[in-house]
Amino acid sequence: SAKPKTKSRSSCWLLQPRQLNNICIVFAELIATAMLMFLGCMGCIENSFFSNSNFQSALNFGFVVLICIQCFGCVCGAHLNPAVTLANYIYNMISLPMAISYFVAQMVGAFIGYGLLKAVMPESAIYSSSTSSGVCVTSLHSSLTGLQGVVIEFLITSALIAICCGVWDPRNAKNQDSVPVRFGLAIACLSLTAGQFTGASMNPARSFAPAIWNGAWENHWIYWVGPLAGALVSSLIYKYAFRREVQAQEEQESTMSTKRTSELEFA
């Protein structure tokens, strides 16, 4: 009775729902990235009217990531970040066409999200004494060289991707319940540590949108080279040195099923 189902799957008519499904998935990634930019950057607003601190805005950015993963994690994985999509592609968890679609959705979504913020906020909230080039623009602190900046972005993105690889590891397949919380607090941590030095972007899309809306391109290359190189190196090292299949348990289970079958055979 299972065969007819398998047949209907291979029929050409089912391609259309699959295409439609992929469009929904990419659309979810777009909304998730827009949400990341809108809420995350709103939480960075600081002027004479609205009190804020690096502590508060870093925690808030982490919690925004929690929200995005909670909302869309089951739909599209909620990468929110070309660096994560790159690592996902290296892990063979996404096809090249879908990875490119994700990248486009992330760029467009970030652009829309930041634009929405500019639309609903007064001018005084976007440009203030502490955010002269525009709120949420990632910039290098004057005490750091460009090389130090790109190394910091490389290292913190490596850490972010190692977190993803930990979540994707077969040995953690059953520990998915608190993933949004773990990601949220981890992003908060990375934002706390590096936020005052490089803005703790770890994400080209997150840096690109405020840059294009405000024309702030100083040291912008850092936020493409650092995160993407970090994602590449970190995911390759994790994949080949640390990733393990859960062979032992599978073997055990297969042994058990073999045993049961044999018991049935003897019966």
Contact positions with its own copies (CB under 8 A) in 15-44: 24, 27-28, 35, 38-39, 42-43
Among 109, 118, 102, residue whose Cα is nearest residue 34: 109
CB of 65 to its own copies, least distance (A): 9
Among 174, 183, 10, 161, residue whose Cα is nearest residue 84: 161
98-137: which residues touch its own copies (CB under 8 A)? 116, 119-122, 124-125
142-181: which residues touch its own copies (CB under 8 A)? 143-144, 148, 151-152, 155-156, 159, 162-163, 165-167, 169, 171-172, 174-178, 180-181
- Number of helices (H), then strands (E), belonging to the chain: the values are 11, 0
- Residues, the chain, total? 267
From 54, 99, 118, 127, residue interacting with its own copies (rule: CB under 8 A): 54
CB of 138 to its own copies, least distance (A): 16
Angle between helices 96-120 and 204-214 (to 10 degrees): 40
- The C-alpha atoms of residue 83 and residue 204 are separated, in whole angstroms, by 8
CB of 85 to its own copies, least distance (A): 19
CB of 143 to its own copies, least distance (A): 4
Contact 41, 117 (CB under 8 A): yes
Q: 48 vs 96, which CB is nearer to its own copies? A: 48
Q: 55 vs 217, which CB is nearer to its own copies? A: 55
Q: 97 vs 244, which CB is nearer to its own copies? A: 244
183-222: which residues touch its own copies (CB under 8 A)? 184-186, 188-190, 192-194, 196-197
Contact 85, 94 (CB under 8 A): yes
- Does position 83 bind its own copies by CB under 8 A? no
Contact 88, 236 (CB under 8 A): no
CB of 31 to its own copies, least distance (A): 8
Contact 160, 18 (CB under 8 A): no
CB of 260 to its own copies, least distance (A): 9
Among 133, 98, 132, residue whose Cα is nearest residue 27: 98
Contact 90, 232 (CB under 8 A): yes
Contact 210, 134 (CB under 8 A): yes
Q: 38 vs 103, which CB is nearer to its own copies? A: 38
Q: 215 vs 234, which CB is nearer to its own copies? A: 234
CB of 238 to its own copies, least distance (A): 8
